[in-house]
Structure 1
Amino acid sequence: MDDNAKAPARTTLRTIEVDLPVNAVWHIWLKAMVPGIQGALAFSNANGKFGEVIASNAEEYSFRIYHVFGGGPVEISYDTDTTSVSVAYWFTAQEVLETGIAVVHTNPANAPPDLPECYHFRPPFGWMNDPNGFGRFGGRPHLFYQHYSHGLRWNNMHWGHAVSSDYLRWRHLPIFLFPSEDLTARPDRRGGAFSGSAIALPNAPGIRVFFTEKVQDRAPEQEVQMTATSSDLFSAGQAEVILPSRPEGEGLTFDFRDPYVFKGPDGHWKMLLGSQSAEGGVILLYETQDVTAAGGWTYLGKLLVKKRHSTTAIECPCMLPLDGVLTDPATRWVLIYGLMNSVDATTGRRNLTMAEVGWFDGRNFSREFIQELDFGTDNYAFQAFLDGDAPVGMGWLANWADASPTIDFPTAMTLPRTLKLGGNGLLTPPIGAAESLRGHILDRTRLAVGQRVSFPHGAVEILFELKEPGTPFELKFDHPNVDLSVVQEEAGLSIRHRAGDGPSPNFIAPGAKVRRLRIFLDYGSIEVFADRGRFVGTKRIAGFEPVSAARFAAGAENVAHATVWSLRL
């Protein structure tokens, strides 16, 4: 070998170049690739290396914060032989609510799907499930959510965070809550910061969040209730325990979670929690007279007990007034909750979500009627709040019947919905701002006469009206992997979704006889809103191949008119 020849350039050094403003804050997750050899990520500029973050753990990614006070071109670099980086993003504290975070690195294990024109909320990386802390704070809607950063499978839980101006177009913010320190050492699915809610601080700018901390096999309580505050609306302070144990004498299982805090008709803060007893799934009611809701929580009793559909625990309860001010005894309230592990024996659908409408006096709930929130069942962990005088909510666009902790499963949130009374039931139509998603009209004539209408991509809205309510039809969709259609027949309105040769549940609203339908298609989902939200069906479509076309396979002669829009954010 020629002594003057240069050694080959190293191929294991990964470098990312970024042009930074002054006072940038980096959030980085890295781990060692070889036990006993530290992983490291270096910061450099034109003057050379000026900083470094390191990690010794070879089992799970370690979280590191680094401040770059000077602006300009900066390189971050690491040796892939010794270091793995899961996520790297930066932001400036002064502008993050306006600009969001700048994600500069993910890896194939946690990267989001590339879905042009997708309009449903998805995390910038990693796994997502239940919406948490949904509310308006500092003048803007905020969404927190169950999150794991380092893969597309459920694991030890964090809270992700995003902010919007219209519930549709979101800016991603820094991770808000983290698992306790003893859960961050390895990805063993033992717990973390589970679901909860948020309220505005009553006497100062900011947010107070409530959440369940879970640690598997912890004694005597696996699940305890925590609170934390944020004055800057994007970073949480130290969390404190507010309910260290389940109420005694109620025969409850270890299930004790998902605190939903709201103002009651008597002016006091109330808290709902989901649990289970020998009687069935349970919703527990707590109260505090502390105007800050920081403590003083006392147990009032069981608000609801459900045995229906072989339910185990009740999850993600929420409650809010529907048709009047909360102090008026005549105002009707809606109580929404998930039936964990429930099975509808007639249809085969699992993990149903129920909505009960009635009256709430601060201690007792008197039911007027009950209905399913969603006949498609992929609108789970639904959380709503009162935005001024308008209830707004959204759910996880998935279902634990399909989403397994053992498979990669990048998911989305449903379209946000309003809640109102009408049509002899609870209506949950999409928010009015959903019309702003409409781009250009794809069709106004062909679909209505039975012709096939092709779609340029997976994001489409179809609006059509039948000549008479309840008239039978089948709207058939072209999808490469799934047999998909929306059908109305004597038995009711249904979404037919069959992937593969196995049996499929019957996703049906029994007895529904509708006239007007609004259908939203996106990559991996279909949402059906019938008769202005009286019957709603949300279904995740397996995979991310788009629906490419639609036609009326039957009943086109009964369609009064139909319009198809291309959608985009």
Structure 2
Amino acid sequence: MNNQSQVDYSTDRADRYIAKNKGTVDPQYRNHYHASPPVGWMNDPNGFVQFQGAYHLFYQFHPYDAKWGPMHWGHMRSADLIHWEELPVALAPDQDYDRFGCFSGSAIEKDGKLYLLYTGVTADDQGVHHQLQCLAVSEDGLHFEKVQQNPVIATEALPEGASLVDFRDPKVFEKDGMYYAVIASKSAEETGQILLYQSEDLLQWEFASVFLKGNKEQGVMWECPDYFHLDGKDCLIFSPMQWPQDGDDYQNLNSSVLAVGKVDWATKQFHPESYQEMDHGLDYYAPQTLVDDAGRRICIAWMQMWGRDFPTDTLGHGWTGSMTIARELKWVDGALKQYPIGIANKSANASGVSTTIEDAKATIPGIEGDCGLLQLKVDVSDLEKLSIHLRENEKERTVVHYDKVKNELGIDRSASGIVLKGEEATLPVSRKLVLPGERTHLELAIYLDHSSVEVFERNGEAAMTANVYPTETATGISFEVSGKAVFTEATFTQFV
């Protein structure tokens, strides 16, 4: 049997290890305002929820190595979605039904208690891993007890043809007094599908429907589903593996997709009207959402991608992985809008006056930094092309570029520092997309952290996320212009 099952994992053991070793990680590429593990490996966000006045974020966690390993649930919380407080480990693979990992899941509040619904990984008599769904509960939001009824959704509850090996990532929600969970599955035809289960009490579950089934042109497995209603539309997020490339879309081997449509609650099936990629960058996977007490639909994702290099592991830094900054999602006039919830624009360095750059490369006084928020508003009436060189020195830079004629916004990390290889046929170093509608002004919010760049078009129409690993400290920011660019706003807010 796999040696992993012989290890005596526990939350106490993990907490002791973290306390002893978190001071040994190398901080060179540690992000400052993105959720990151204290030590070890981080992937999917789990149990993203507001509870007892705070935002709680759980995550896939292997504390003992900077590589993926026996999955625990790490835990942190925040008052503002920017500053994160480390909390005790919530779950460890310490039971027979989850001894090979506590995989991804979600959280929900019921009767003042916080419940975690997660995937446990076990093995049959032949050593084949099976996935099933388990429940843990907490009264204080810090310490969790696994329920005696586990697993609450066993493999016997699968529909005909569904894989016992690929049955994971439950996202729980409540509707009209009933609890539901959308769960990722693989069909007998080797396609992705989302299953729906229902329960009156979170303990006794029954299969409700195949909520949505993919075809051969939509990838081989769908992960991390999330269903919600947004501004009059039913929405289903999922992360497909090997969704085929379509022009500028789905260029990463794995993607994050928003399906928009309508649920027929009589048959409990989702009828999609459209699919779209959520982020046109290089490192964005497994997004999960919540609704907060202000009514905002907020999304956060793993700021990484499977099948890529992980430099902080390769270099022996002792940690791997970060989350994106949180985004508010809106559905407006038939389109998804994404607005970053990030650093407030205060104590910012600013250009002070309108700056014009014409057929030249130049800097703007006061605009520099490697950790903070760059906000720009540019009159592009007479522009041909604009390249924004971030974290620039003589050897390295990350470039955000805009082509006025093509109305294309892009990001290029080919000269950012450490070259990141992936499983794609070509190096994953650049992405672009066509912005909707013609414009006379380009407005951008660019979030820089020590190993990441996140670009938002400020009308919410584009988002691009990428990890970067400069080999030298660089705070330079310059602007290369073909034609004329009039910067009516240019500020850099340093993160503190």
TM range, smaller chain: 0.7 to 0.9
1:214 matches 2:121: yes
Distance 1:270 1:485, change over 3 A: same
8 Å contact from structure 2 (residues 44, 302) kept in 1: yes
Partner of 1:559: 486
Partner of 2:253: 350
Distance 1:423 1:371, change over 3 A: same
8 Å contact from structure 2 (residues 226, 289) kept in 1: yes
* Amino acid across the alignment from 2:491: V
Count of aligned pairs: 459
1:280 matches 2:191: yes
Partner of 1:532: 459
Partner of residue 70 from structure 2, selected from 156, 179, 185:
156
Instruction: Give ranges in structure 1 of 5+ residues lacking alignment.
Output: 1-56, 67-84, 90-102, 185-189, 324-330
1:180 matches 2:81: no
Partner of 2:153: 243
Q: CA deviation at 1:422?
A: 2.2
2: CA distance, partners of 1:547 / 1:447: 23
After TM superposition, the structure 1 stretch with the greater mean CA deviation from structure 2, 351-360 or 519-528, is 351-360
Identity %: 26
Residues 296-311 of structure 1 correspond to what in structure 2 (within 5 A)? 297-307=205-215, 311=219
2: CA distance, partners of 1:545 / 1:191: 40
Partner of 1:259: 170
Partner of 2:240: 339
Partner of 1:227: 135
Partner of 2:331: 421
Q: What SS class does the counterpart of residue 106 from structure 1 fall into?
A: helix
1:382 matches 2:296: no
1: CA distance, partners of 2:69 / 2:31: 29
1:430 matches 2:340: yes
8 Å contact from structure 1 (residues 158, 193) kept in 2: yes
Partner of residue 504 from structure 1, selected from 427, 433, 451:
427
Deviations 1:85-105 (A, max 9, x none): 99456xxxxxxxxxxxxx464
Residues 69-88 of structure 1 correspond to what in structure 2 (within 5 A)? 87-88=16-17
1:462 matches 2:385: no
Deviations 1:406-444 (A, max 9, x none): 84662211011111122641111112xx24375431544
Work out which of the two has the higher radius of gyration on C-alpha atoms and give 1 or 2.
1
* Amino acid across the alignment from 2:235: V
* Amino acid across the alignment from 1:322: L
Q: What SS class does the counterpart of residue 254 from structure 1 fall into?
A: coil
Partner of 1:473: 386
Deviations 1:215-246 (A, max 9, x none): 36776761110001011210110242111105
2: CA distance, partners of 1:216 / 1:538: 37
* Amino acid across the alignment from 1:440: A
8 Å contact from structure 1 (residues 423, 534) kept in 2: no
Instruction: Give ranges in structure 2 of 5+ residues lacking alignment.
Output: none
Distance 1:482 1:181, change over 3 A: farther
Q: What SS class does the counterpart of residue 370 from structure 2 fall into?
A: coil
1:321 matches 2:229: yes
* Amino acid across the alignment from 1:462: L
Q: CA deviation at 1:451?
A: 2.2
Q: CA deviation at 1:397?
A: 0.7
Distance 1:547 1:315, change over 3 A: farther
1:191 matches 2:100: yes
1:392 matches 2:298: yes
8 Å contact from structure 1 (residues 438, 565) kept in 2: no
Q: CA deviation at 1:253?
A: 5.9
8 Å contact from structure 1 (residues 448, 556) kept in 2: no
* Amino acid across the alignment from 2:108: I
Deviations 1:183-223 (A, max 9, x none): 99xxxxx831010000002x2x2201000012367767611
* Amino acid across the alignment from 1:191: F
* Amino acid across the alignment from 2:297: P
TM-score by length of 1: 0.72
Deviations 1:443-465 (A, max 9, x none): 44587535225776521211122
Deviations 1:53-89 (A, max 9, x none): xxxx9x96865859xxxxxxxxxxxxxxxxxx99456
Partner of 1:200: 109
